[in-house]
Chains A and B, each alone.
Chain A
Amino acid sequence: MGGELTGWFNADRLPAALATLIFGAVLIYFIRAARQGRPLYIRRIAGLEAVDEAVGRATEMGRPILYSPGLDPMEEVATVASINILAQVARRAGQYETRLIMPNRDAIVMTVAQEVVREAYTEVGRPDLYDSHDIYYTTQSQFGYAAAVCGTMMREKPATNFFIGHFYAESLVLAETGNATGAIQIAGTDSDSQLPFFICACDYTLIGEELYAGSVYLSREPLLLGALKGQDVAKLILLAVLLIGTLLALAGIDIRPILGIGAASGGGG
């Protein structure tokens, strides 16, 4: 099988194709279960539970909310997840009549965010609150963006900061500046190298997959809850596979020839 290109299927990617099919099947099964009204338990996520409190705090203090969607463009899934959470945050901000500020590094993200926020305000019956100038473009430059967001935090003194999306080295600059202004901070990122910084400097942090669960958790939409449950079950299957693989490796049993996968040179179990 190794490296054979049949014209229609790259046999090298068979394991990935099988994993995708199994994962897809599990997701669809739980989406159907949710559609049929089966109750699904989702564990509590502290960072998402705190969204109402964070928006309420901004309302009580009469200060705005700042939302940063990270640095990645719209085609990155972390940014899509961030925009999905933004919709829920904007809905609450609309209900509480609290101003939402969103500096952007990418113009497409800005355009999508404007549409999402406008729609959220309309849904809660407050389209008049929407101001397109509150969701604006800053710069493509990484640290230029960090400077722009920090400047906004120092001038506007938002009561609540959301840093949700994919961040790079600027994460701590943003989070520490927000901390210095006394804002309550909720961060969420799938960037494992930036997670420690957010955990240190923010009040709540959505770790990795919690970022993708955010909008589902906040909206409680049954179909999306089904997908989230499917994701958890897929993780369980993966953990079982990892455990079996680890036990086989510890026992010195190499099943790669049986599976038709070439044994990698130089160990790795």
Chain B
Amino acid sequence: MRKTGPVVFGFLVGMLMLIQYFTPNPWIQARYNNVLDWKQVVFGITLMLGVLSLVLFHWRKIEQRQKGWGYSVITIAGLIFMIAAAVWRGQNAGPYLWMFDHVQSPMQSTMFALLAFYVASASYRAFRARGFHAALLLTAGVIVMLGRVPLGEMLGFHAGERYYSLATISDWVLNYPNVAAKRGVLIGVQLGIVATAIKIILGIERTYLGKGA
């Protein structure tokens, strides 16, 4: 029962989700909405699970005086402070909002801004023309980058009566070879999603249950 119960439950819910997509039947749509409601309930419970895991993880670090345990103290203190602030003055006023606007938001923006430097360092490595593929990538990269700036409109060549600027070539690279490759990947992804879903519904794939492949 410990093995078959979740598989049978997965089959029933999976079939319901599959059928509801193809039928406008009100009874089935109502069951689908029930599932969505349950999802919200489960999400609420998982937040509590997450908080519990976070507290236990950092508590152990503090208790055992592991390296960097001071940061764990700050994490737990921050957690308690934010909960207390939200209970005291609500989420849209007072210290909770202030901390969100002046601490959390700037920290998130900082992490996001780091992306610019990481793009530069990753591009530097990727664009080293060590072989044919890397050279092709470098060429496409240079064309697309130059084609995106005003200079790209001025650089180009004439072929007969037509003028091909780097901006035009850049658009062609983005709209044809790039889109073709992306669609190839997406077709594979969608088939993979459907195949995985079918395997789970049929109970062939049960690794996610912790029962081995």
Residues of A participating in the B interface, judged by any CB pair closer than 8 Å: 5, 7-10, 13, 16-17, 20, 23-24, 27, 31, 75, 77-78, 80-81, 83-84, 87-88, 106-108, 110-112, 115-116, 118-120, 123, 133, 136-144, 146-147, 155, 169-170, 172-173, 175-176, 190, 192, 195, 197, 199-201, 207-209, 211-213, 215-216, 219, 221, 223-224, 227-228, 230-231, 234-235, 238
Contacts and interface: CB of A to CB of B under 8 A. Distances in A.
B150 interface: no
A75 B213 CA distance: 19
B108 A141 contact: yes
B67 interface: yes
Interface residues of B, number: 59
Contacts of A142: 108
A146 B195 contact: no
Given A172-B122, A173-B118, A200-B122, A227 B46 contact: no
Contacts, number: 191
A227 B54 contact: no
A27 B46 CA distance: 34
30 contacts: A8-B23, A13-B21, A23-B191, A23-B195, A78-B193, A87-B210, A87-B212, A107-B50, A108-B46, A110-B49, A110-B50, A112-B208, A116-B207, A116-B208, A119-B211, A133-B60, A143-B111, A143-B112, A144-B104, A190-B189, A190-B192, A190-B193, A209-B185, A212-B193, A212-B195, A216-B213, A219-B207, A224-B204, A238-B187, A238-B191
Given A137-B50, A155-B67, A221-B213, A195 B126 contact: no
Contacts of A108: 42, 46, 49
Interface of B: 18, 21-25, 39, 42, 46-47, 49-51, 53-54, 56-57, 60, 67-68, 104, 107-108, 111-112, 114-115, 118-119, 121-123, 125-126, 182, 185-189, 191-200, 204-205, 207-213
